Amino acid sequence: MNLKRKLKLGIIGLSAAFLVACGSTPADSGSGSGSEEKLIVGTDAAYAPFESLDGEKIVGFDVELLNAVMKEAGLEYELKNIGWEPLFIALQNNEVDAGISAITINDERKKSYDFSSPYFESVNMILAKEGTSIKSAKDLEGKKVSVQNGTTGQEALEKMFGANENIKKYENNVLAIQALLNGEVEAVVADNAVVQEYAKNNPDKKLVTITDKENFESEFYGIIFPKDGEHQEEINKAVKKVIEDGKYAEIYKKWFGEEPNVDALKQ
Ligand code: ARG
């Protein structure tokens, strides 16, 4: 657990002791023995097949990978669905110990957060309606396009066309796709596995996916940590182990139906 959270719990513990001394009982204090310390891992569970909700349950590739990694590291944890932007705020405030959410490792983010070594290769992709005239990212110029706010999809569009009104930003990717279905935008830009999965699972929506290897760069996902948090080293070791010992390939095959290119992750 990080220092700030330890301090917080310490304060709760102290006030609980004080209340008990005063003869009143604390409502729901966290004054346990502390023996089974649980890490809190945050996510935005609206990004299938990486993380999404099945009823109350968070499911997906990231969820199973995290499970394997934490088992390997021998760490107790709880995965919480807190949303995309709130996750980054929670990391900055040390309210979570880590995050897993198909998060691309990039230099900008590295200034404020730490990352594990890469666990998944990804690239942005366009989702549009059948019959669209869009053939490449360049064709998005002057068209309304939706993205999830604060993602590399937004960044890629802004890099090509500058920040402008046609880039419609949504709190999560489900809403970004909804905007396409409603006809509010002509395309969505998001991670390839996510848009492909959506198009495949919703044939009635008549959607197509468009790649553009020139304008969309290859990206790698990592588990994210608060800068100088306490657990990245052991978790990172476990990430590498799980990739090496074949557990990763097993989970990958289950979700993507093919062998992963593990070599691409070793850079
Ligand atoms: N890989 C992209 C990024 O890091 C999009 C990730 C969005 N993840 C999510 N769970 N909504 O910016």
Same domain, yes or no, for 35 and 82? Answer: yes
* Category of 233 on φ-ψ map: left (φ > 0), alpha (ψ -120 to 50) or beta: alpha
User: Are both 49 and 136 inside the same structural domain?
Assistant: no
Each as own residue / partner, the long-range contacts of residues 71-75 (CB below 8 Å, 24 or more positions apart, any chain) are 72/238, 72/241, 72/242, 72/247, 73/231, 73/234, 73/235, 73/237, 73/238, 75/39, 75/231, 75/234, 75/235
Q: Is the CB of 102 under 6 A from ligand 1?
A: yes
Residues 112 and 131 reside in one and the same domain: no
Pocket test for ligand 1, best of 59, 104, 115 (most atoms within 8 A of CB): 104
Residues 239 and 149 in one domain: no
Examine residue 95 and state whether it is found in any structural domain, yes or no.
Answer: yes
Residue with tokens 């998060």: 103
Contact between 227 and 220 (Cβ < 8 Å):
no
How many angstroms separate the first and last alpha carbons of the chain?
A: 29
With respect to residue 201, please indicate whether it lies within any of the assigned structural domains.
Answer: yes
Share of the chain above pLDDT 70, in %: 86
pLDDT of residue 171: 98
> Residues 51-80: pLDDT tens digits?
999 999 999 999 999 999 999 999 999 999
The band of 10, judged by pLDDT with boundaries at 50, 70 and 90, is low
Res. 229 pLDDT band, cuts 50 70 90:
confident
In a domain, 78, yes or no: yes
Whether residues 114 and 7 fall in one domain? yes
Which of 205, 156, 150 lies closest to 177, judged by CA? 205
116, 131: one domain:
no
Do residues 134 and 25 both lie within one domain? no
Q: Does 99 lie in the same domain as 26?
A: yes
Q: Is residue 266 part of a domain?
A: no
pLDDT band of residue 37 (cuts 50, 70, 90) is: confident
Adjacent-strand bridge partners of 113: 226
Identify the pLDDT of residue 177: 98
In a domain, 198, yes or no: yes
Same domain, 140 and 108: no
Distance 36 CA to ligand 1 centre (A): 31
Average pLDDT, the chain: 91
**Residue of 148, 149, 192 to test ligand 1 pocket, by largest number of atoms within 8 Å of CB:** 148
Give domain status of residue 267, yes or no.
no
Task: Reply yes or no on whether the pLDDT at 196 is more than 80.
Answer: yes
pTM of this prediction?
Answer: 0.88
Query: The domain that contains 163 carries what CATH number?
Result: 3.40.190.10
- Using the predicted structure, report yes or no on whether residue 32 has a pLDDT greater than 70: no
pLDDT at 13 over 60: no
pLDDT over 90 (residue 239): yes
Q: Is there a single domain that holds both residue 116 and residue 77?
A: yes
- State if residue 120 touches ligand 1 by the CB under 6 angstroms criterion: no
More confident residue, 202 or 11: 202
Residues 128 and 184 in one domain: yes
Closest by CA position to 59, among listed 254, 258, 265, 225: 254
47 touches ligand 1 (CB under 6 Å): yes
- Ligand 1 proximity of 44 Cβ (cutoff 6 Å): yes
User: With 60 as the cut, is the pLDDT of residue 20 above it?
Assistant: no
Instruction: Name the pLDDT band for 89 (thresholds 50, 70, 90).
Output: very high
CA 72 / ligand 1 centre spacing (Å): 25
Note the Cα 220 to chain centre separation in Å: 12
- ipTM topping 0.90: yes
In this prediction, residue 102 carries a pLDDT of 99
Name the pairing type of β-strands 120-129 and 187-191. Answer: antiparallel
Q: Tokens representing 175?
A: 């809403």
Distance 264 CA to ligand 1 centre (A): 19
Among residues 191, 210, 229, which one ends one of the domains? 210
Which range of residues forms the domain containing residue 14?
3-121+220-257
The confidence band for 9, taking pLDDT boundaries of 50, 70 and 90, is low
97 C-alpha to ligand 1 centroid (Å)? 18
For residue 263, tell me if it sits in a domain: no
Q: Is the CB of 149 under 6 A from ligand 1?
A: no
Task: For residue 150, give the ligand 1 atom closest to its CA.
Answer: 12
* Ligand 1 and 48: CB distance under 6 A: no
Ligand 1 in contact with 148 (CB < 6 A)? Answer: yes
Q: Is the same domain home to 7 and 117?
A: yes
Examine residue 91 and state whether it is found in any structural domain, yes or no: yes
Number of domains observed in the structure of the chain: 2
213 CA distance to ligand 1 middle (Å): 19
